[in-house]
Amino acid sequence: MNFTLSNKPLTNVKADCLVVALPDKGDLPESTRLADEALGGLIKKLQKSGDLLGKNAHTVMIPTPDQPWDRLLVVGTGSDKSRTTATFHKALIAMTGQLKEGAAKHALVALHDTPLTGDDTASSESAKLSLIGRTLEDQLYSFNSFKSEKPASRKLNKITVTASAAGKSQKDAFQLGLATGRGMNFTKDLGNTPPNICHPIWLAEQAKTLAKNHEAIKTEILDEKQMEKLGMNTILAVGKGSTQPPRFIIMEYRGGKAKDKPHVLVGKGITFDTGGISLKPGEGMDEMKYDMGGSASVLGAMQVIAEVKPKINVVAVIAAAENMPDGGASRPGDIVTTMAGLTVEILNTDAEGRLVLCDALTYVKRYDPASVVDLATLTGACIIALGHHASAVFSNDEGLSKELLAAGERAGDRAWPMPLWDDYQNLLDSNFADMQNIGGRAAGSITAACFLSRFAKDYRWAHLDIAGTAWNSGKAKGSTGRPVPLLVDYLMSHVGK
């Protein structure tokens, strides 16, 4: 797809389709007003007659002969008072759905002047251009690598997005959005790849390829012997039941000053999760290929950073393993010693994500990080609590939690704070070890975070449980690319600080 940014007048750009916004009521955005003038007041006439609705995400395609554009796509954007980043995003999704299935080869998207509510940063033209770019890349995604019959190619091959000016700030914002969309698509590709291909070594190879394609990224892979030497016994314990050996992936991006502390991302990379000896039910187990959603998001975010090259230092680590049941697998009742020297009684081998993450959280202490954010499809309890709308945020630092929540709001990739009180910690008490790896049915996502918190006491840390947001089930089954937008916004908010 060819994406361009233009500040030329609408009537000076020839395209197969012009896209404009229609509010529920009130004044038309400038682009819509100019299009209406060129069409002799047609938009207002159709709105008055009820043939055009400003209801958010409502779309209507109109033929426009004798114009620089063959057709006009009118996208409802709701009322000015209720038009947030989230509702505007829904309108953009509806727009892209119409374009990708339509007959237009070249679309001219004039939505940059649609007013949004919220703070100046979230409602700025730069923020809107970034969101438009991201949504276009994200929504034009398809995954058909394993289909013998490929779908017909789309007619749409060029999209021009309008802006008030085509200066550096506008271009940078638009390119950041496009890069974020590509990062989401990389994340989706990784998550959608079947587990007979996507195993720990393959995942490590993707990180190597990322470093090969972007010289700003340096990648190192640790094998079992190196992990054993470091004392990463809990990662090794999870991988013991599989013929696919675990891997520990380290990626470094150094775009800031040498003295600047890095921001660290930690990803859970369980490439397939049977539950181990604590075997999961068979129904829906195919979706456990998405249990590496945290690692996929980390890789997607690192690709974005490598593309836009911000002046910031970022380190990413991924603990990759496959959780399978065989004669060598960990048993309920086993006790293992973590890299931190603490002992864990494994009561349930299906609570394996926290076991691989705890060693990773110990490892990253060596970077003296400015912040550490781990990402994991960790608990079904999180889905019960928050559904599929928001990622859960647990943190030992209120300021960090607020930063992540704000980034999610700005990016339209929402998150919600959860408690991490000491009251929950005793649910992890073990009769035989320093702790057990589960705390019972009650507060399952909280006790999982409490477990992780014991290994993150030496730095500002947050845990994102993305079990409800990293993938869709049912007919729309597939990876979502979340929370790459949140991560990118969070990291970019620290550039220059």
- Across residues 192-210, what is the average pLDDT? 98
CA 25 to chain centre: 34
Q: How far apart are CA 214 and CA 251, in angstroms?
A: 12
Report pLDDT digits (tens) over 10-43.
999 999 999 999 999 999 999 999 999 999 999 9
**pLDDT at site 123:** 86
* 58 vs 203: CA distance, rounded Å: 40
Q: What is the pLDDT of residues 401-421, one digit of tens each?
A: 999 999 999 999 999 999 999
**Interval 114-153: pLDDT, tens:** 999 987 777 899 999 999 999 999 999 999 999 999 888 8
Please give the pLDDT value at position 135.
Answer: 98
Asked if residue 457 has pLDDT above 90, the reply is yes
Residue 449: in which H helix or E strand, if any?
helix 444-453
Per DSSP, 253 falls in state E
Q: In this predicted structure, what is the pLDDT of residue 383?
A: 97
φ/ψ region of 440 (left if φ > 0, alpha if ψ in -120 to 50, else beta) reads: left
CA atoms within 13 A on the CB side of 312: 24
Nearest to 129 by CA among 72, 155, 167, 81: 167
pLDDT at 118: 80
* 3 state SS of 55: coil
The confidence score (pLDDT) of residue 474 equals 86
Using one digit for the tens of pLDDT, what is the confidence trace for 86-107?
999 999 999 999 999 999 999 9
pLDDT of 392: 98
Residues known to be catalytic: 280, 354
| 3-state SS, residue 157 | coil
> Contact 217/253 with Cβ under 8 angstroms?
yes
- H or E stretch at 94: helix 85-101
- Encode pLDDT of 280-305 as tens digits: 999 999 999 999 999 999 999 999 99
User: Quick one: 478 exposed, middle or buried, by C-beta within 10 A (0-12, 13-18, 19+)?
Assistant: middle
**Mean pLDDT, rounded, for 186-191:** 98
Task: Pick left, alpha or beta for residue 73 (phi over 0 → left; psi -120 to 50 → alpha; otherwise beta).
Answer: beta
Chain-centroid distance of CA 310 in Å reads 19
What backbone phi and psi angles, to 5 degrees, belong to 109? -100, 110
Residue 475 pLDDT > 90:
no
Q: What is the mean pLDDT of residues 243-252?
A: 98
- What's the pLDDT score for residue 255? 97
